[in-house]
Amino acid sequence: MTELEEFIDPDPPTQAEVLPPGATRAKVLAWDFYNQIFQPDCKWDPGDRQYVWTGSIGTAVHDRFGISNVYTSSIMRELYRMRCLVRLRKGGGKGGLTVIAVMHPPTESLWATEQISSNAATSTKSAADDQRFRDLTGRVEQLESAMQAVVRVLAVKEEG
């Protein structure tokens, strides 16, 4: 058995077995992209000791799925975020073909981890927003105190 044959699962799990319920269209297509474009078309690079896919992402997507390139970036973002793919060289235009390291298939646990890290980022942002609100509230209270002091000084001057 060759290294490539060992890498490609002859009986990969189905979308239904891997994708979380209510998966976004981008996640469904990310699964399809990985299993229908990247994994079958990758080659073993003995120098880098990894599987590499070389080609035009836009052309591959259009040829296999017939969808617009507009959706490609959101779908690829899913695969890059889960480290299923790692872009080694950006292609397009005079840049030539894109070169991507094919790391591992998307799995339910990776999507769950993504959700957890996304929630953690939201929590961190929320905590930062709360702190910013407290800081601004304190500054407004200081301004109100300063304004009251000015009003009292002006009232004393008018009386006098």
Q: What is the pLDDT of residue 86?
A: 92
Q: Which residues pair with 100 in a beta bridge?
A: 53, 87
Indicate whether this model's pTM tops 0.75: no
Three-class secondary structure of residue 43 per DSSP? strand
Q: What is the pLDDT of residue 7?
A: 55
- Tell me how far apart the alpha carbons of residues 104 and 83 are, in angstroms, rounded to a whole number: 8
Which residue stretches of the chain have pLDDT < 70?
1-21, 95, 111-131
- Tell me how far apart the alpha carbons of residues 78 and 46 are, in angstroms, rounded to a whole number: 27
Closest among 8, 69, 6 to 38, alpha carbons compared: 8
- Which domains occur in the chain, in start order? 3-106 (1.10.10)
List, for residues 78-114, the tens digit of each pLDDT value.
888 888 899 998 887 776 899 999 998 887 777 666 5
Neighbours of 146 (CB within 10 A): 10
Q: What is the pLDDT of residue 90?
A: 87
Q: What are phi and psi of 116, to 5 degrees?
A: -65, -45
